[in-house]
Amino acid sequence: MNDAAAAGTVLVSTAALTQRFGSTVALDALDIQMRPGVTGLVGANGAGKTTLLNALLGLRPPTSGSATVLGLDPRSQGAALRAKVGFAPERDVLPDEMRAVDFVRHLAQVRGLPRSEARTRASDSLWLVGLGEERTRTLGTMSTGQRQRVKLAQAVASDPELVLLDEPTSGLDPTQRTEMLTLIGEISNEHSVSVVLSSHLLEEVERVCDHIVALDAGRLVADGPIAELVGDGEGITLELVDIVEPAGTVEAVESSLRSAGIDVQRTGTVLRLGGAGRDELSDRARDAVADAGARIRRLEARQRTLADLFEASAT
């Protein structure tokens, strides 16, 4: 039985984990659990994501509270823990003069692999991230996207049970970002490597992660399976075309819906409707639009997003 299994499929757990820097509270009594799969660690810059990753790696002892990663205590069993965990920092840490394959091999050796195995796995990892043909190039000649892939390759080369990726899409264009996220999903799904993906971009976390841990100024905003936190929400969104003739159609629709007992939140030509079942809301919206002579641009079931979680946390 491996350590993760021994811990009951909880890879990472923290209890009242707190990290202070002087008067600044970087992590505020976090109680979180991360399970196998891809976990998104999401929050704005300065939310405490990197601080949390450092605490999980045992690089900085917490001010108070505790953490367990793969069944190990980062404070007292840090070296054993870090041998099982791959890490790719946000910062560009690649020495320009080194060849990609030498860099990945070296880090695999430092993480404990024998020399011959490290050499083989360095090539395999670079093939995995799509840099097989480029593996003998020096790092200084590589593009930002390729360098991010090299960082990913070094993180997975030693076959870790868990990989911590700090902003792995930083500096990438949309196409490269999509490719990187797809790659991270493949590594987790096809090779059973659990990933903690730190990002400040809600959209990319929603796209690839199974679970999320959302932080805001060091506080826990949400923690759980992404399917439970985002997706179909209550109500519908009605967006109307802003027409001149007849005038005041948007206001007329809003008024009609309110008089029918529907909850309406209006932002310009967008009306968020609630307070009733979706079918009834749709029927009422259709009737109100027809009566007012308005025109519909969009009518859809409302999706709950991570942004909603952060908004709810802020209010």
Partner 1 sequence: MNDATGAADARAQATEADNAAQILDERYRPYSGARHGLAGAMRALDGSSVRFTLGLGRPARHKFLPWLAVVVALVPAIVFVGIATVLDIDLISENILPEYHQYYGFIELALFFFCGIVVPEILVADRRNGMLSLYLSTPLRLWSYLASKAAAVTVTLAVITVGPLLFLLVAYTVEGSGPDGLGDWLTVLVRILGSGIAIAATITAASLAISSLTDRRAFAVIGIILLLLGSQFVTGLLVEVAEMDPRIYAFNLSEMSEALKDRIFGVGPPELGEDDASPGLRISELSTLFVVAVNAAWLVAGSAVVWWRYRRIEAG
Q: What character string, x for contact with partner 1 (CB under 8 A) and - otherwise, covers 251-270? A: --------------------
Residue range at the interface with partner 1 (CB under 8 A); choices 64-72, 89-97, 169-177, 289-297: 89-97
Q: Would you say 183 and 149 are in contact if contact means Cβ atoms under 8 Å apart?
A: yes
Q: Would you say 237 and 257 are in contact if contact means Cβ atoms under 8 Å apart?
A: no
Residues 249-278: b if buried by 16+ CB within 10 A, e if exposed: bbebbbebbeebebebebeebebebeebee
Residue 5 engages partner 1 in binding (rule: CB under 8 A): no
- What phi and psi values does residue 246 have, to the nearest 5 degrees? -70, 155
- What are the percentages of helix, strand and coil residues in the chain, rounded to 5? 40, 30, 30
Q: How far is the CB of 124 from partner 1 (least distance, A)?
A: 5
Near partner 1 in 31-70, by CB under 8 A: 57, 59
Question: Pairing between strand 194-199 and 38-42?
Answer: parallel
From residue 84, alpha-carbon distances to 77, 122, 199 in Å are 11, 16, 22
Near partner 1 in 101-160, by CB under 8 A: 102, 106-107, 109-115, 117, 120-121, 124-125, 127-128, 154, 156, 158-159
Q: How far is the CB of 240 from partner 1 (least distance, A)?
A: 52
Q: Would you say 109 and 137 are in contact if contact means Cβ atoms under 8 Å apart?
A: no
Which is nearer to partner 1, 89 or 274 (by Cβ)?
89
Residue 191 engages partner 1 in binding (rule: CB under 8 A): yes
**Residues at the interface with partner 1 (CB under 8 A):** 57, 59, 78-80, 82-83, 85, 87, 89, 91-99, 102, 106-107, 109-115, 117, 120-121, 124-125, 127-128, 154, 156, 158-159, 191-192
